[in-house]
Amino acid sequence: MTSTEPVYGTVTLLLIAVAAVALLLLLILRFRLHAFVALVLVSLLTALVTGISFQDVVPTLLQGFGSTLASVALLVGFGAMIGRMLEVSGGAQVLADRLIGQFGHDRAPFALGIASLLFGFPIFFDAGLVVMLPIIFSVAHRFGGSVLLYALPSAGAFAVMHAFLPPHPGPVAAGELLGADIGLLVLVGLAVALPTWYLGSYLFGLWAGKRFELPVPELLGSLSEAAHDRREPPSFGTVMLVLLLPLVLIFLNTGLGTLVTAKAIDGDALWVNILRMAGQTPVALLITVLVGMWTLSGQRTLKDMEKLMDGALGPVCGIILVTGAGGMFGGVLRASGIGQALAGSLEAVGMPLIVAAFLISTALRVAQGSATVALTTTAGLLAPTVAATTGLSSFDLCFLVIAIACGATVLSHVNDSGFWLVGRFLQMDERTTLQTWTVMETLLGVIGFAFALVGWWIL
């Protein structure tokens, strides 16, 4: 794909972005056009209107679509298989029973959120959420009420960990660009993430669960089928092995990468490269699928397991396509120069550095959808200013990274693949997704920024 210089000014590009989002919502909500078709159509029209050359239009669309699928399709596919095995084998129910036994019925959403915070430290948002979904659905099916009561605290936990804490790529890249100490950033990020999750995700999830009555989806398989499966369920230890195995492998890859960077071990050693490859998220999930087929089979035949795997993929194909199309839309907005124009205009206004960081990141997030792109781009834009500013402490740099992460979290909408991923898995229409997921993401970003701003002033 050939990069394209913006052919319009900032105001015109902003109006085009607003019109594109409005058209997309109109097609989906008013004319009931399927989201996949609407996203591809609006992406094409936006590319043409913003002046992307005719020969670059299709490559731009395919680049956005393909790059999103490259990161999402394998994770969702393998995650759905793991989730299906955990559900049908009774493993999800075993874990749900243990969680509820520890925290009690009334604290079930809190228990799921805490588990997701732990799992969300090393694993990416989409992979972690997919692995947790069968447990969320099992608990929701057992205790009743809206699935949002249980799903939002968990999804919010993965969201804040993904945005605020290393080893996730966004905060790591931003921290390195701004010269922040990564170890201190982990501590500061954790101190901000935990109360932010409690206020913006857990408490909001309790409210949304009462406000929006949504049934438990059956995307990952039939709960009634699992209920009638009379085979002996796996032990709690086996369930934890399957859940923690991908996390351990991914975290091992991160730890080895840190040691290689610090030159504590030889990065060219064969054993290091093998372990790091096994810790790449798609490979880690593939290994987990194979282990799950062995440990969760419950004396099923190979033919039964093949049928089980096949049944897990069907319901998530639509999710994968819509998510890819959302990435296509975001890719067009990035290629058109809309995000860069907005960021440049905000940077030129002149305001406190931490406020500018938050607003520039917010503009990039709204314009092109990707939180990681907003994080890294904003950090790159601000790096020269930060380097030229005297008197910034190590804590100031960390709070600056958190402020950027908060801006990259707010206002998740139709150009964000996470918007479609969560909406489709929970079987919400677009209006409900905007009223729940988008609001929760915005709360997380605003509350987190408030904590970062206080820390910036005090420390």
Express each pLDDT in 405-435 by its tens digit. Answer: 999 899 888 878 788 888 888 888 888 999 9
Mean predicted confidence (pLDDT) in 141-165:
88
User: pLDDT band at residue 224, thresholds of 50, 70 and 90?
Assistant: very low
For residue 228, pLDDT over 50 is answered with no
Which range, 273-282, 360-369, 437-446, is most confident?
437-446
The amino acid sitting at 87 is E
The answer to whether the beta carbons of residues 339 and 363 sit under 8 Å apart is yes
> Is the pLDDT at 246 greater than 70, yes or no?
yes
Higher pLDDT, 323 or 214: 214
- Nearest 5°: the CA angle 104, 422, 324 is 155
Residue with tokens 């490859």: 277
Cis check for the bond before 167: say yes or no (omega within 30 of 0). yes
Domain locations in the chain as residue ranges: 10-63, 64-459
- Please tell me the distance from the alpha carbon of residue 61 to that of residue 331, in angstroms, as a whole number: 7
Q: What percent of the chain has pLDDT over 70?
A: 86
- Continuous H helices in 26-143: 35-49, 54-88, 91-103, 108-119, 125-143
What the block records as the tokens of 216 is: 């438990």
**What is the arithmetic mean of pLDDT over 267-274?**
89
pLDDT at 345 > cutoff 50: yes
Give the C-alpha separation, 385 to 134, whole Å.
Answer: 46
In degrees and rounded to multiples of 5, residue 279 shows phi and psi of -90, -5
Contact 154, 437 (CB under 8 A): no
The full length of the chain comes to 459
Nearest CA among 134, 116, 72 for reference residue 282: 72
Mean pLDDT (the chain) is 81
Provide the pLDDT for residue 342: 58
Do 175 and 405 meet the contact criterion of CB atoms below 8 Å apart? no
CA distance 107 to 69: 36
- Which pLDDT score is estimated for 199? 96
Please tell me the predicted confidence (pLDDT) of residue 358.
92
Q: Which of 186, 194, 187, 130 is nearest to 157 (CA)?
A: 194
